[in-house]
Amino acid sequence: MTALDDQEDLEEQFAQWRHYVQRRRELHQSDADELEDHLRGCVDELVAAGLRADEAFLVAVKRMGRLDDLSREFAREHSERLWKQLVLTGGTDSLEAETRSRRDLIAMLICAAGAAASVKAPELFGMRLAQDISFYGPNASLFALPWLAAYLAWRRQARRPLIGTLVALFALGAVAANAYPLANTSQSVVITSIHLPIALWLVVGLAYVTDDWRSSRRRMDFIRFTGEWFVYFVLIALGGGVLTAFTVGTFQAIGIDPEKFITQWLLPCGAAGATLVAAWLVEAKQSVVENIAPVLTRLFTPLFTVALLAFLVAIGWTTAGINVEREALILFDLLLVVVLGLLLYSISARDPLASPGPFDKLQLPLVLSALAIDVLVLLEITGRITEYGTTPNKAAALGENVILLANLAWSAWLLLRFVRRYTPFAALERWQTGYLPVYAAWAWIVVLAFPPLFSYV
């Protein structure tokens, strides 16, 4: 072996050592540099004393002691490093990553400003937020979501056909929101206001997954994104609430009433901007912070299971029928959404290859009890509709109920087969991701076809 080979060998060993050090969260890049210099000093001295390079390396590493002990000592001085910090800009070690995150931040700020401006733009044409509910309600999602889709498409460098599709779908959404002659008080305004955001959110999903829209994995990523986005949005909203409270309080103390500013500017523009900020946070922190939605799922799955089972027992005990008013139907729809969410976000965080555990078994009673409750509700409501005729509200709620019921029923079946080890977990995951277009299709049907079907009631 020549001295040159020796040197190459040594460099390789150093590279490997660096790799180990860099995996330690307690040790930063500069610490790794400092320790490497130390190690090299030690090796040089041992080589000068007559050892061969590889022997010297082994001795030097041995002297430095176990990496565990070393990082523990570092952690005592730098305890903040044990908390994963979301560094918004700067602080990253490589220059390339830093320029990238800076560009991301700027693009997000532009899009957020665009979304906020979009909210106020209709006022130039004489619209008033307080009065024109039939305009602002259905159009609410059209202010922020196109900007969100644009931001995501920009980040993923979407190609032209996809951009064209996105533009076309948002245009279609604008048509659905504005083309029909609906009165301020009509049921269809409310229905469209609820369903258009769902339809457009799935268009955002298209921008999120870009070219791989058929891939089950990418769709699952979008589901994860949705959950985290929601958590962040709620957190930002809470912060916004505190900000609002202080603004109102302090200004009122000096005799100025900021209510108009709050309701006309801060809330609508803030909500539109927060849509973008939340998405940007999720994208930026993807690998930094653990996902919180699956944690909430773990916490609440047992609690919801107990609540639903208790409700079923109470129905059986009292033999009371469910009093199905319109609100009750919506309530039970939301219940199914929550159960589906619990199922979805535990799927999203699960290792697909792991064998069924106690938590998977716990989900089965949750889904089954939700199904049982829903069947009771559904029987009641179909009786009502055949008796009194239907309205857009009832038809939409009923449609959602059927869609969710179908999803959960098949999920329960797949879950049962998975727990008994007949089918792999991937089947359940594929079922859920494959179902996303169904939600999209239904939401589009409701916003496009319902108003004419029910003669613009």
Smallest separation, CB 36 to another protein (Å): 8
Tokens of 262: 């709050």
Contact (CB, 8 A) for 392 and 445: no
Q: Which one of residues 24, 52, 78, 394 is an interface residue with another protein (CB under 8 A)?
A: 78
Q: Based on CB atoms, which residue is closest to another protein, 45 or 259?
A: 45
Q: Is residue 41 close enough to count as binding another protein by CB under 8 A?
A: yes
Which pairs with CB-CB distance under 8 Å and at least 24 residues apart come from 132-138?
132/184, 133/184, 133/189, 134/182, 134/183, 134/184, 134/186, 134/189, 135/178, 137/189, 137/190, 137/192, 137/193, 138/176, 138/177, 138/178, 138/182, 138/189, 138/192, 138/193, 138/196, 138/447
Q: Which one of residues 10, 32, 35, 190 is an interface residue with another protein (CB under 8 A)?
A: 35
Q: Is residue 25 close enough to count as binding another protein by CB under 8 A?
A: no
Which residue stretch of 40-48, 288-296, 315-323, 373-381 sits at the interface with another protein (rule: CB under 8 A)? 40-48
Tokens of 102: 């800076």
Smallest separation, CB 166 to another protein (Å): 47
Positions 229 through 258 that interact with another protein (CB under 8 A): none
Q: Is residue 30 close enough to count as binding another protein by CB under 8 A?
A: yes
Q: Is residue 77 close enough to count as binding another protein by CB under 8 A?
A: yes
Tally the C-alpha atoms within 13 A of residue 367's C-alpha that lie toward its C-beta.
25
Smallest separation, CB 39 to another protein (Å): 9
Which residues, including other chains, have CB under 8 Å from residue 179's CB and lie 6 or more apart? none
Per-position DSSP letters for 140-154, written without gaps between them: HHHHHHHHHHHHHHH
- Which one-letter amino acid corresponds to residue 243? L
Which residue stretch of 61-69, 128-136, 266-274, 360-368 sits at the interface with another protein (rule: CB under 8 A)? 61-69
Which residue stretch of 72-80, 236-244, 428-436, 448-456 sits at the interface with another protein (rule: CB under 8 A)? 72-80
Tokens of 241: 């609430």
Q: Based on CB atoms, which residue is closest to another protein, 58 or 330?
A: 58
Contact (CB, 8 A) for 372 and 393: no
Which residue stretch of 34-42, 175-183, 209-217, 231-239 sits at the interface with another protein (rule: CB under 8 A)? 34-42
Quickly tell me which residue has 């002659």 as its tokens: 181
Q: Based on CB atoms, which residue is closest to another protein, 68 or 327?
A: 68
Which residue stretch of 75-83, 134-142, 159-167, 244-252 sits at the interface with another protein (rule: CB under 8 A)? 75-83
Smallest separation, CB 80 to another protein (Å): 11
Q: Is residue 65 close enough to count as binding another protein by CB under 8 A?
A: yes
How far is 341 from 348, CA to CA, in rounded Å?
10
Smallest separation, CB 63 to another protein (Å): 8
Which residue stretch of 68-76, 119-127, 133-141, 227-235 sits at the interface with another protein (rule: CB under 8 A)? 68-76
Tokens of 410: 């098949």
Q: Which one of residues 12, 19, 29, 38 is an interface residue with another protein (CB under 8 A)?
A: 38
- Binding residues for another protein, per CB under 8 A? 30-31, 33-35, 37-38, 40-42, 64-65, 69-70, 72-74, 76-78
